[in-house]
A and B are shown apart, each in its own frame.
Chain A
Amino acid sequence: LAKTTQPISMDSYEGQEVNITCSHNNIATNDYITWYQQFPSQGPRFIIQGYKTKVTNEVASLFIPADRKSSTLSLPRVSLSDTAVYYCLVGAAGGYQKVTFGTGTKLQVIP
């Protein structure tokens, strides 16, 4: 399973766009990149998943460069309710052999 590296924490003001980058230098050819959001005392929630280039859904965008050694989660116009821990995962389709979450990035949105 590819190891991921994310910033430990980030602060942002309400209404700003937030970009959280994840490094995964050892990503394998069949690995997907997935991001989760976790609020205190709750289970993580799936945000977005991608394989290459750009993926967008109703809550976020995921940018993946051609070499796939990193990815960036983009949250448009954050609000206070986006304050959470964001995890980046890398794993293969068909299920994980051993899904492991890193320490994640704690995003604090400031009024």
Chain B
Amino acid sequence: EAGVTQSPTHLIKTRGQQVTLRCSPISGHTSVYWYQQALGLGLQFLLWYDEGEERNRGNFPPRFSGRQFPNYSSELNVNALELEDSALYLCASSLQVRTAGELFFGEGSRLTVL
């Protein structure tokens, strides 16, 4: 069974540009979570989608947005990139009805903003 897949794996952007990151959850998983992990730091919760709806978001500005498609895949969009947006962006999926904590993570998208 395929795990959570993310694309692209690495990308370089300049300040002010926009980026779209993509995530495909494990087949059958309806929930998708997005996290930001700056170098050497912990995971900061960004967004949670379930059944196509945004269920919760972390303390990030509105230029961080996303959506979940009918096939449960998801996109994370970041507008007006800033240097501090450089980080590893991780996507995770889970079965909403399962017990808490069984998040399955992808390998992440490493974003560098110059």
A residues near B, CB below 8 A? Answer: 31-34, 36, 41-46, 49, 87, 89, 91-104
Q: Find B101's partner among A41, A46, A100 (CB 8 Å cutoff).
A: A46
CB pairs A–B below 8 angstroms (5 shown): A31-B100, A42-B108, A46-B103, A87-B42, A100-B58
Contact between chains at B99 and A49 (CB < 8 Å) = yes
Q: Once bound together, how far apart are the Cα atoms of A57 and B63, in whole Å?
A: 42
Question: A95 — which chain B residues lie within 8 A by C-beta?
Answer: 31, 50, 94, 96-98, 100
Of residues 33 through 65 on chain B, the ones whose CB sits less than 8 Å from some CB of chain A are 33, 35, 41-45, 48, 50, 55-56, 58
CB distance from B99 to the nearest CB of A (A): 5
Task: Take A94-B96, A101-B35 as given contacts and tell me if A46 and B102 are in contact as well, using a CB distance cutoff of 8 Å.
Answer: yes
**Interface magnitude class on chain B:** 20 to 34
Contact A93 B103 (CB under 8 A): no
Contacts of A102 in B (CB 8 A): 42
- Chain B residue numbers with a CB within 8 Å of A87 are 42-43
Measured CB to CB, the residues of B under 8 A from A are 4, 31, 33, 35, 41-45, 48, 50, 55-56, 58, 88, 90-92, 94, 96-108, 110
Q: Does B101 contact A32, Cβ atoms closer than 8 Å? A: yes
Contact A98 B56 (CB under 8 A): yes
- Residues of chain A lying within 8 A (CB to CB) of residue B97: 94-95
Say yes or no: A100-B45 contact (C-beta < 8 A), given A42-B107, A89-B101: yes
* The one of B4, B41, B100 that contacts A96, using a Cβ cutoff of 8 Å: B100
List the 9 shortest-distance A-B pairs measured between CB atoms, nearest first. Answer: A43-B105, A34-B101, A101-B43, A91-B100, A103-B42, A95-B96, A32-B100, A93-B99, A98-B56
